[in-house]
Structure 1
Amino acid sequence: MKDSSIFPDPVYSDTVLEPLFEGVKRHYADHMAAINRAHLVMLVETGILNAGQGAQIATALDGIDTEIDLDALRYTGEYEDYFFLVEAELKRRVGPDLGGMLHTARSRNDIDHTVFKMALRARADEFIGLSVALAETVLSKAKVERDTLIVAYTHGQPAQPTTFGHYLNAALEVLLRDIDRLMAARTALDHCPMGAAAITTSGFPIDRVRVAQLLGFHEPLVNSYGCIASVDYITGFYSAMRLLFVHLGRVVQDLAFWSAFEVGQLYVPNALVQISSIMPQKRNPVPIEHMRHLASTTAGRCNTIIDTMHNTPFTDMNDSEGEVQQAGYAAFDTGGRVLKLLERFIGSVSVNADRVSANGDAACVTITELADTLVRTDGLSFRQAHEVAALTARDVIGRSAPLRDGFDAFQAAFADTTGREATLTQAAFAEAVSMSAFVARRTCVGGPAPAPMNAAFEQYAAALQNYRAAIGETNERLAAASATLQSAFTKLKES
């Protein structure tokens, strides 16, 4: 049995240290290398190290980054973690005294949270890009389907006519608000913890702004205690991410309902349909089920990360570090798959007009407009008009007839309710109960008629344009920071 006084205990090594080591290799090694380079550039620029010392360390770091085969590295327990392996290799190359100078005015505490932010922001940027791409596809589809009639449902029952474009706009508005939340949460990833050191910064004259800029951050995170204790950059982004999949899941459920045989108003093309292995007549839109369970899985993974932070101390702690951070990345995997599949799905489906018409007729979905018309043309109160409409609907539903064939029943109901004859002609009655006329009359802001729909399209397009501009600015800043760091590091190495 291994001496229990010697670190690391083999079980601790197997269960904690080796998995963390492998996680750093996979997710953080490149970010750690960038931090080493940026910190070194700053130490020389501030005079904490001289140019000669900086050149030797820079040459050694460059050798470590290019010569160590990460894939071949295995955790042996010789060093506690990857950070100490790199530090030991640096000391081996330039000597223990000079090699140790790189760690001046920093700690694994500020390094860790900076690494985590860099890894999370890369995933966040890709995820936001996928979300915006989905929103763009939804808007494009909504424009194409602006006038495509559907039956809208409430409480699982046919309610009123609207258009597929109008429905998609509703989903798009929620998606845009979700993107707003993601963008707001992304700003918390743009504040750099480097320079906080363990808790209270350092007595050395470091330049935190310079390091932040070299690493592509907007600015330092101001309070040094908060740099190593606050985890809202984690909980904030995963909360925003979770909400997006809660909301998209509701749309996915509608897609399942609409494509069911009994409703059938949504047609899913063959490329997105699987056939039963035993029942060849079945067209199973299985991608919907995958989107539904992957959205739920993603929301659950986000919850895991958020809940792990619950009731933890407001200090530096492992509960917010390596393993938890890495566990969260699975949410980006499943979530990204949902966004890509949903974008393709929405762009591919179409509306079955015959089923829409049949369902609308069977459920008298335009009956509200008949009541509204009677208020306008015959001066009835809405309650009186509602009673006439209800009697008319009861008759045609009982006969399994469409509402447009209910003029005689309407006349009788009107006379029974009001004691007089209606002024509405048969042609006017047919117009009042048509689905297209129902939609055309809904011209208020946010309605499904063409004018408010077109105005909404412009609003959504402007929002998407702003997102793309913000994404472009972020990409440019990160690229410029990377180039500046490379130039400064190369200059330092050659000095």
Structure 2
Amino acid sequence: MSDTSVFPDPVYRDTVLAPLFEGVKAHYARHMDSINRAHLVMLVETGILTRGLGAQIAAALDAIGKQTDVAALSYTGEHEDYFFLVEAELRRRLGDPGGALHTARSRNDMDHTLFRMELRARAEAALTLMLDLAAALTDKAEAEAETLIVAYTHGQPAQPTTFGHYLAAAIEVLLRDATRLSAAIDGLEHCPMGAAAITTSGFPVDRVRMADLLGFESPQVNSYGCIASVDYVTGLYSALKLVFVHLGRVVQDMAFWSSFEVGQLYVPDSLVQISSIMPQKRNPVPIEHMRHLASVTAGRCDMIVNTMHNTPFTDMNDSEGEVQQAGYAAFGSGGRMLALLTAFLPACGVRADRVAANMDAACVTITELADTLVRDEGLSFRQAHEIAADTARAVIAMEAPLRDGHAAFAEAFETRAGRRTALDAAAFRTAVAPETFVARRDRLGGPAPAALAAALADSRTALGALRTGSGARTTRRASAEQALATAFASLTEV
């Protein structure tokens, strides 16, 4: 069968090759240049290429880098992709020896290496935003350690706690998510270079040296896995998704708390928009933006993970160029959400008047009354619970605050216990005060000041450890970049 067609087909060029080329320009050209330089250094150091040839290629690579305006390039179809464009330019300058740079490597190991290089930078930046958020929330939690709020369960007023205690819970989740993301970044720290197409190479490549020059912790060992396993992608986006699933729940609470009917969260004017027609409206729309940004980010993470589903365990385009680039949108929307939440929550305040009104209306301290009856009156908790329930029903029916319900309590106590209570009106008011409720919960993880301070201290320790780990990775990459520059420059020294 005679085939007179010429690559690339115009439709394939416009729908696949040109967009991929633009993606390389935007995300990968600098990483490819680093890989080219590191690979050349390794080839010369191992004797696979002579120093003389290495010097020629180094000079040509350097000139190409200085003389090429990558952003101004347009895809013409003359070369299949950016890799072949660079190789063609090397051969134009050096003749056939320009093709020696590709000795003992493949686009397979190159691609998965540069994908990891881009991902680790984006993921580290996301982790930094998370840690900044955790620090801001910890500061806010300490400042609001004694600020009373109503805690809700099943959408109903449940018990009093403090804003600091609530934030401490969110901080612990955030730090656990940060730990998962940090572990996923560690999963990016293994270099595929040297795996070549599938099975390494017949040349004596130094894979450890390549990993070091590119700022990786070590090589990824199995060469088939280097080009086939995509767990570095699925693991990262799975960890990233959880961040926004969990933060989205906190944001939803902010929407509920700032509603007119609840009103315990005050959003300052700088974060409120007005209605174009209803002058009384204060719309805290940043909450809605954070909620949809969190959902969009989680969805984008799912998109990447699901794209890997039922794909073959081999090198494939399903895990490469376009898919990788599509995933970067998750870092964009996620970064916006993290930055907005870091500004939003510390700026908000708690309306003590609304908290007090909601507490009075809902008898949220009634559990402490039951506890007090167990401690001071010697009742079983079930009997105490029944007396407390009778008291709550009575004061709610009277539309009175619980603190004014001593008479109803005394009647319920005598009916249930068969005797008069020793708890007078003053002791009753103390028992059902929200400040008493919080102070008596001075247990590990509780809202009382000492317990909360200890929890926040632990969070600061965890935060510091995560910053240290991130800093160590960043320092290693910066040191490797300098070491690569020095080693590459030495190739041209006489």
Q: Assess same fold via TM > 0.5.
A: yes
Residue 457 of structure 1 aligns to a residue whose secondary structure is: helix
Q: CA deviation at 1:395?
A: 1.1
Structure 2 counterpart SS, 1:377? helix
Write the deviation string for residues 242-265 of structure 1: whole angstroms up to 9, x where unpaired. 011000000000000000010000
- Residue type matched to 2:186 in 1? T
Cα deviation per residue 1:20-63 (whole Å; 9 max; x = unaligned)? 00000000000000000000000000111111111110010011
CA-to-aligned-CA distance 1:188-227 (integer Å, 9 cap, x gap) = 1100000000000001111010011000000100000000
Q: Does 1:57 align with 2:57?
A: yes
- Please state if 1:476 is matched with 2:456: no
| Alignment-derived partner of residue 377 in structure 1 | 376
In the alignment, is residue 309 of structure 1 matched against residue 308 of structure 2?
A: yes
Q: Partner of 2:150: helix, strand, or coil?
A: strand
Aligned to 1:401: 400
Consecutive unaligned residues in structure 2, runs of 5 or more: none
Distance in structure 2 (CA, Å) of the matches to 1:72 and 1:473:
36
Question: Which AA in structure 1 matches 2:372?
Answer: T
What is aligned with 2:253? 254
Cα deviation for residue 365 of structure 1 reads: 0.2
Alpha-carbon distance between aligned partners in 1 of 2:361 and 2:62, rounded to the nearest angstrom = 74
CA distance in 2, matches of 1:266, 1:399: 27
Whole-angstrom CA distance in 2 between matches of 1:141 and 1:65: 48
Q: Does 1:217 align with 2:216?
A: yes
Residue aligning to 1:95: 95
CA shift at 1:4, angstroms? 6.1
Let me know the Cα RMSD of the aligned residues.
Answer: 0.8
Q: For residue 5 of structure 2, what is the aligned residue in structure 1? A: 5
CA distance in 2, matches of 1:335, 1:135: 15
CA distance in 1, matches of 2:175, 2:86: 44
Show structure 1 runs of 4+ deviating over 3 A.
none
CA deviation profile, 1:354-395 (whole Å, cap 9, x unmatched): 100000000000001001101111111111111111111111
Distance 1:379 1:69 in 2: 83
- Deviation per residue, 1:128-167 (Å, 9 max, x gap): 1001111111111111111110000000000000000000
3-state SS, counterpart of residue 260 of structure 1: coil
Q: Distance in 2 between matches of 1:260 and 1:113?
A: 48
Aligned residues: 492
Q: Does 1:389 align with 2:378?
A: no
Distance between the aligned counterparts of 2:233 and 2:141, measured in 1?
A: 34
Displacement of 1:493 after TM fit?
2.1
Q: 2: CA distance between counterparts of 1:60 and 1:494?
A: 14
Determine if contact 2:160/2:437 at 8 Å carries over to the other structure.
Answer: yes
Match of 2:196 in 1: 197
Query: Aligned partner of 1:420: which letter?
Result: R
What amino acid is aligned across from residue 107 of structure 2 in structure 1?
Answer: R
- Are 1:109 and 2:108 counterparts? yes
Preserved contact between residue 182 and residue 470 of structure 2 (Cα < 8 Å) = no
Q: Deviations over 1:323-343 (max 9, x none)?
A: 000000000000000000001
In the alignment, the residues of structure 2 paired with residue 71 and residue 410 of structure 1 have an alpha-carbon distance, to the nearest angstrom, of 77
* Distance apart, 1:494 and its partner CA: 2.5
Could you tell me how far apart the structure 1 residues matched to 2:388 and 2:457 are? 37
State the secondary structure of the residue aligned to 2:310.
coil
- 2:187 is paired with a residue whose SS is helix
**SS at 2:188 equivalent:** helix
Q: Which amino acid aligns with 1:432?
A: A
Distance in 2, Cα, partners of 1:122 & 1:443: 42
User: Which 5+ residue runs of structure 1 have no aligned equivalent?
Assistant: none
TM-score by structure 2 length? 0.99
Separation (CA, whole Å) in 2 of partners of 1:49 and 1:478: 26
- 1:70 Cα deviation (Å)? 1.2
